[in-house]
């Protein structure tokens, strides 16, 4: 297939190329797309060098699938244009996630909703993906009443400049300012922009996207998102109140049987999920499973995943693998 990766030189775009190669996606021709300053450069894929082109050039190259990871503005402008030409677009930005006509897909949860007529598909936010991967089976069996989630998000979620700022600060240089404050040796309770309700855009993604993916708008979601000086992945402390009674051993077994989820929960031997462990892995890891001490039918858990892989690139490629079945 002829596949375009829009944003091919960015953190997520490069990881998309890696995952496409790892999963042996049937790419006969790669069309790497990036901003004007990168046009003419080359990216490595499947042992070959592929020249980076502009998005306007890519429109004329009869692409069949386009993976977008170049930001909301690019997606708003160009994703519909690609889709109108019969290209299946899988968009990693927030541009289309809450559009009622665009499906928001985590393949393990609702991949069966996709049809051959879905030419524009939204990839959820990284923090949402790892949380719903664990909560979806619980919701199906017990029903979820309320979620309280606090995220500890890697600097990689904010892009190259964020990573560079942290590295520079660790070397004693404070010349970069991707964040409004120092990030090394610090924690910022601030992911994305603040909205009128005093929650950040990142926090509201956890609310709105969870409702849409689980198809239940009655679930109460109380989010706090923080940025931490970590590279390996995002971590989340999640307290979930269920509608029906449960036993911890049943929850542990249910999650152990869930595709894409790995239970790592042995505190006696200091075994629990950590970003350094999740780095460059596709699975979502969950541990620290325990009952809430005061709220009936509630439990606490700790969820970790590589936000660049399952939180972005891998999820998008998994969607592409489903879409590939519709392409003759």
Place of tokens 């999650």: 255
Per-residue buried b or exposed e for 121-146, using 16+ beta carbons within 10 Å of the residue's own CB: bbbbbbbbbbbbbbbbbbbeebebbb
CA–CA dist 318, 313 (Å, integer): 9
What residues contact 2, with CB distance under 8 A and at least 6 apart? 27, 28, 29, 31, 61, 62, 63, 64, 65
- Residues carrying an active site annotation: 126, 234
CB 132 within 8 A of CB 144: no
Provide the token pair at 100. Answer: 């009622």
Distance in Å from the first CA to the final CA of the chain: 10
| Separation in Å, CA 301 to CA 135, 210, 213, 291, 297 | 10, 17, 20, 9, 14
DSSP codes, 159-201: -HHHHHHHHHHHTT-----SSSS--TT--BS--S-B-TTSSBH
CA–CA dist 92, 11 (Å, integer): 12
């Amino acid at each position: 297939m002829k596949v375009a990766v829009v944003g091919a030189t960015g953190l997520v775009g490069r990881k998309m190329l890696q995952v496409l190669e790892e999963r042996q996606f049937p790419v006969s021709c790669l069309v790497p797309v990036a901003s004007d300053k990168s046009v003419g450069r080359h990216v490595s894929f499947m042992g070959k060098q592929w020249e980076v082109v502009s998005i306007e050039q890519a429109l004329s190259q009869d692409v069949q699938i386009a993976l977008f990871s170049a930001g909301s503005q690019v997606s708003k402008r160009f994703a519909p244009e690609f889709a109108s030409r019969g290209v299946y677009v899988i968009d990693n930005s927030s541009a289309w996630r809450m559009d009622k006509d665009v499906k928001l897909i985590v393949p393990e949860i609702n991949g069966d909703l996709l049809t051959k007529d879905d030419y524009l598909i939204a990839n959820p936010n990284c923090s949402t993906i790892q949380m719903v991967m664990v909560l979806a089976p619980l919701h199906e069996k017990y029903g979820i009443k309320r979620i309280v989630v606090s995220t500890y998000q890697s600097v990689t979620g904010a892009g190259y400049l964020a990573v560079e700022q942290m590295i520079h600060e660790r070397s004693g240089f404070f010349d970069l300012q991707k964040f409004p404050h120092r990030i090394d040796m610090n924690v910022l309770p601030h992911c994305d922009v603040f909205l009128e309700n005093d929650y950040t855009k990142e926090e509201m993604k956890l609310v709105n996207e969870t409702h849409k993916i689980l198809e239940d708008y009655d679930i109460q979601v109380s989010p706090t998102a923080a940025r931490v000086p970590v590279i390996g992945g995002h971590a989340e402390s999640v307290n979930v109140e269920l509608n029906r009674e449960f036993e911890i051993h049943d929850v542990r077994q249910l999650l152990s049987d869930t595709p894409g989820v790995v239970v790592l929960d042995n505190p006696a031997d200091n075994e629990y999920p950590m970003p350094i462990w999740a780095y460059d892995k596709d699975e979502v890891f969950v541990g620290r499973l325990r009952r809430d001490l005061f709220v009936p039918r509630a439990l606490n858990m700790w969820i970790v995943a590589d936000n660049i892989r399952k939180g972005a690139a891998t999820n998008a490629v998994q969607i592409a693998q489903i879409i590939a079945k519709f392409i003759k």
